[in-house]
Structure 1
Amino acid sequence: MNIPARPIVVFDIDGTLTDTVVLHQRAFEAALRTFNFPRLRTAWGNYRHHSDSAIFREAWDEAGFEGEPPLHMLEERYRSEFDVLCDATPCDEIAGASQLLADVEQAGWIAAFATGSLRHGAHRKMALLSHPFDHDLLATASEHETREEIVQAAIDKARAKHGVPSGGRVVSIGDGVWDLLTARALELEFVGVGDEARARQLREIDASVAVHGDLVDVGRLLGCVASVP
């Protein structure tokens, strides 16, 4: 008897599992400004790739600085800024995030995580959840620059660790435009989460995209389609 391959769900973190978008952006901008860019664009969505390392590289190139952008220095400065802000600013998971992860695992799905954030921030954000996560299945901007590379790395990690062949079902869950664009580029199923304003934003790109107002609805959806006993 052929046992169906376990499906994989790839979660974005900021704005999807944790309420940390503003906190992250403040820490990231503060870290960038320590490099004294002559003109730093802070409309992050206008950069070619929406990840910390890719934005850093593009800003570095625009400034005309020589050599490779020192990512290790950015990481050190971001770590310092993020820790100070995180310790001083109350923040929490998105309502239902921990329960969703528990439900996903109970349904037989493999949960992987892909974020445009640097790794230190991702770990601190995920620590806000009461449900544990597999650190081995986290891909971040510390290792890859483009969102496509990050998401694909998370999928590859999940497949390798759990012996899942390529070609199985993969669902991407996120709240942002870049999450949707990345899912479409990688030909993944996509489920959006967010309020009506965010839903309109996502549907301007793809009118057919499913956007749910909270993570409880997402959990119901994944529970209904789970096929692994």
Structure 2
Amino acid sequence: MTGTFTPRWPVVIFDLDGTLADTVDLIVESYQHAFRTVLGREENPDIIRSWIGRPLSAAFRDHSPEHAELLYDTYLTWNSENTERLIRAYEGAREVLVALGEAGAKVGVATSKRRESAQQAMDLLGLTPHISALVGLEDTEVHKPEPTPLLLALQRLGHSDPSRAAYVGDAVVDVLAGKAAGMATVAVTWGAGVRANLEKVRPDGIASTTAELHDLLLAPAVS
């Protein structure tokens, strides 16, 4: 990733969980703790992974509406207490953010995670200095796959043209939200999403490594 580069899009907005932050195991274990505590059983981990990218409250309402509030509260408490222990960095992810900033791109995050939890994750992984706008769960009334959070992040970055922006995420809802917003879309395969499912929704690019992501987002500068 050495050399001088120019951004392919002047604005790049990222999902957080499974894209910039390796929180998949943390999320699965948080769900399982909530299910064990409240329902006395666990859930299929593959089903849990398919929920990543959606707001927690919606997943719990769909799964067990009569216990949704208690499941949600139990999840949040355990997740907050165990984030520092279980969160991991994706090798090279922070460097992609650094390279985008050095190339003059504006970088934001639009996530279905609560702002407090998202900020905690970004701080722990050293991502915060490289992100100029954060849109979290509380910032919009509707969430991915609706485009509203992405468009709000674009607005907060001072841009109004989604066609000159890209959204990067690991889930089908991320690609769908980016398309609905009128942005270019890049899917990554190291998170919770299944590559075959990502391919079906036809993102503009798919990266299996952070080096590939770098090359999808940045082009060598022409001297």
TM-score tier (shorter): 0.7 to 0.9
Q: What is aligned with 2:171? A: 176
Q: Secondary structure at the match of 1:224?
A: strand
1:50 paired to 2:40:
no
**Percent of pairs with identical residues:** 23
Aligned length: 209
Gap change, CA 1:198 and 1:46, over 3 Å in 2: closer
1:194 paired to 2:194:
no
Q: What is aligned with 1:111? A: 107
Distance in 1 separating the partners of 2:42 and 2:189: 32
Compare the two structures and name the one with the higher strand fraction.
2
Structure 1 residue 198, shift from structure 2 partner: 3.7
- Supply the AA of the counterpart residue of 1:128: L
Superposed CA RMSD? 3.6
1:203 paired to 2:207:
no
Question: What pairs up with 1:1-229 in 2 under 5 angstroms?
Answer: 7-31=10-34, 43-44=47-48, 50-59=54-63, 62-63=65-66, 74=72, 77-89=74-86, 91-133=87-129, 137-143=133-139, 144-149=141-146, 152-160=148-156, 162-194=157-189, 198-206=194-202, 209-224=204-219
CA deviations over 1:41-89 (Å, ceiling 9, x no partner): 9734777x822132234346x43x7xxx759x93x54342013322443
- Supply the AA of the counterpart residue of 1:78: Y
Any stretches of 5+ residues in structure 1 without a counterpart?
1-5
TM-score (norm 2): 0.73
**8 Å contact from structure 1 (residues 97, 215) kept in 2:** yes
**8 Å contact from structure 2 (residues 97, 130) kept in 1:** no
Distance in 1 separating the partners of 2:172 and 2:149: 20
Distance in 2 separating the partners of 1:27 and 1:157: 27
**8 Å contact from structure 1 (residues 51, 117) kept in 2:** yes
